Structure 1
Amino acid sequence: MVEPIPPVDSRHKARILMCPPDFFGIEYEINPWMNRRVGSDSTRAAEQWRGLHRLLTDLGAEIELLEPVRGLPDLVFTANAGLVYGDLFLSSRFRHAVRQRETPYFDAWFAAHGFTVVTLPEGLYFEGAGDALFCGETLFAGYRHRSDSRSHQKVGELLGVHVLPMELVDPRFYHLDTCFCPLDPETALYHPGAFDEYGRKVITSHVPRLIEAPPEEAASFCCNAVVVGRDVVLNVGAPKVEQALRRAGFTPHATPLGEFLKSGGSAKCLTIRVDGEDAASWRTHPPQLGRTFAAARGATR
């Protein structure tokens, strides 16, 4: 039984970066959901994206937009851009070459908006908020299909935070954010079947309150949700999870995102919190680590 906790400070306005799906489509296959023969409906995808944008705006979020780029269909999945930590943007190193071309556009946006952009050494794969999510002070990290465990160790060193790497064993849940969603610093929604026994123990021993997504609802990517205070925005098709969220003191908002699920994405994949996730304890006092990195760079020039 998940006990509800008091609401968070609602005066903070969430800042979210999204990218319109002008050039979204299934042009290659890099996860089990993608099938070029099936493709996607561009009109319906645009409608679904606008519905998500409108819903987040109605919930009080400030939405900023990245300019879409022809030939980069997955630029729409901004969660994979990197990891935000205070004034620092830790840029992704994508495993697949087709997505590596997105990095300059993400890096340029964050640099232009006051972030210090830091990149991991070559040879390390790291796919940002797709595989690294804060719950409280701890950074939970998924590896195997996209990111690797060595990259998470380096992330922990760079940020000076406690990192818990967990292996993702089901290829359908290839990123951590497809099967694990921190809701607040002590609560998370997750799908146990996406992890091995060790990963499940890591989650159950470090997160005080947990909501389990059953297999049939996890397949709708209900864990790939956007959290804004006590509001949780998720794809349609998860009535049991919605009920559990209400019992835990959250308000679910289901919106159709089926066209993006065809590409292995949903609500969370389509967004990145520029101000830090609600479940990150540091969000109320964002660290200025970016200034430290910038000063060190200047000293070595």
Structure 2
Amino acid sequence: MCSPDHFTVEYTINPWMDTTQPVDTDLAKRQWTNLVEAVQAAGHTVHLLQPEPNLPDMVFAANGSLVVDGVAYGAKFRYPQRQLEAAAHEKWFRSHGWPYVAAEETNEGEGDFTYVEGPGLILAGWGFRTDGRAHAEAADALGRPVVSLRLADPRFYHLDTVLAVLDDHNITYYPGAFTPGSQRLLERLFPDAVIADEVDAEAFGLNLVSDGHNVFINTEAAGMAKKMAAAGFNPVSVDLSELKKSGGSVKCCISELRS
């Protein structure tokens, strides 16, 4: 995770960003700290990436890599405003002894990649940020099969805004964010998935992190939290309203290090 010390909205690279809307960096830091404490209270270790000036979106640490089996496949950001973040992530992994594969194809880490442990599948989004060719590159780098899913709604420009892994075998997702073919693929692969609706997605309720029991989710997504509870999970709500101004929430803030 990376503290939002320099967080602001000074450019527009997704539909949620509005440079005319005031941003309270101190409030963003307090909200982020509450998320860190909630994750630690559930027994997880949080490693910190040093924030760098002039990179206001570094708080969204999930976008910097995909880590599977102890190997990090690095990001290569689409927009120039974020491209220097990739080097900061690479430096962290290499300095901490993690095998690191630098990307040649455009991808935004766990923004568009996630991993389902049971079947050993990487689910990968494309259509807005990540180039589809990065899916083959990720498969080669990590030695795991990749399922390509095409995103269809520009409001949900990253896979992690409309799909989340809940445990080793199941997921939750919003079907309307995908093309018909990708919807059919998800239905076949995950017939027992928790289905979210547009209201859940707009509240960034799918931008969550689950450890198989606790589901860390933003407070605005009350309906999604009820769905999680009904599915047998323990929703842990954290207010990240300030960070949502830049188009991110819980999952965006957390890069999962799978050893």
TM-score tier by shorter-chain length is over 0.9
Contact 1:27 1:36 in 2 (8 A): yes
Q: In the alignment, what sits opposite 1:133?
A: 114
Q: In the alignment, what sits opposite 1:269?
A: 252
Please say which of residues 183-192 and 151-160 is displaced more in the overlay.
151-160
Structure 1 position 224, deviation (Å): 0.5
Q: What root-mean-square deviation, in Å, do the aligned CA atoms of Structure 1 and Structure 2 show?
A: 1.2
1:125 partner amino acid:
T
Contact 2:68 2:115 in 1 (8 A): no
Q: In the alignment, what sits opposite 1:83?
A: 66
Rg larger in 1 or in 2?
A: 1
TM-score of the two chains, using structure 1 as the length reference: 0.83
Structure 1 stretches (4+) deviating beyond 6 angstroms? none
2:167 partner amino acid:
D
Contact 2:127 2:151 in 1 (8 A): yes
1:33 is the counterpart of 2:16: yes
TM-score of the two chains, using structure 2 as the length reference: 0.95
Q: Take 1:58 and 1:250, find their aligned partners in 2: how far apart are those partners? A: 16
2:7 partner amino acid:
F
1:161 partner SS = coil
Q: In the alignment, what sits opposite 2:220?
A: 237
Contact 2:101 2:141 in 1 (8 A): no
1:95 is the counterpart of 2:78: yes
Q: In the alignment, what sits opposite 2:239?
A: 256
Contact 1:220 1:261 in 2 (8 A): no
TM-superposition CA deviations, 1:134-173 (whole Å, max 9, x none): 1231111000110011110221123222111111111111
The within-5 A match list for 1:56-75 is 56-75=39-58
Contact 1:242 1:252 in 2 (8 A): yes
Q: Take 1:29 and 1:88, find their aligned partners in 2: how far apart are those partners? A: 32
1:207 is the counterpart of 2:190: yes
Gaps of 5+ in 2: none
Q: Take 1:257 and 1:31, find their aligned partners in 2: how far apart are those partners? A: 18
1:209 partner SS = coil
Q: Take 2:149 and 2:90, find their aligned partners in 1: how far apart are those partners? A: 27
The within-5 A match list for 1:90-239 is 90-121=73-104, 124-135=105-116, 136=118, 137-239=120-222
TM-superposition CA deviations, 1:167-201 (whole Å, max 9, x none): 11111111101110011122111111111111111
Structure 1 position 238, deviation (Å): 2.4
Contact 1:32 1:172 in 2 (8 A): yes
Greater RCO, CA 8 A, separation 6+: 1
Q: Take 2:32 and 2:245, find their aligned partners in 1: how far apart are those partners? A: 14
Q: Take 1:239 and 1:32, find their aligned partners in 2: how far apart are those partners? A: 22
Please say which of residues 72-81 and 33-42 is displaced more in the overlay.
33-42
2:180 partner amino acid:
E
Q: Take 1:134 and 1:208, find their aligned partners in 2: how far apart are those partners? A: 17
Q: Take 1:217 and 1:129, find their aligned partners in 2: how far apart are those partners? A: 20
Structure 1 position 49, deviation (Å): 0.6
1:34 partner amino acid:
M
Contact 2:66 2:113 in 1 (8 A): yes
Q: Take 2:249 and 2:209, find their aligned partners in 1: how far apart are those partners? A: 9
Number of residue equivalences:
257
Structure 1 position 240, deviation (Å): 2.7
Q: In the alignment, what sits opposite 1:280?
A: none
Contact 1:186 1:209 in 2 (8 A): no
Please say which of residues 235-244 and 34-43 is displaced more in the overlay.
235-244
Structure 1 position 237, deviation (Å): 2.4
Q: Take 2:58 and 2:226, find their aligned partners in 1: how far apart are those partners? A: 33
Contact 2:76 2:103 in 1 (8 A): yes
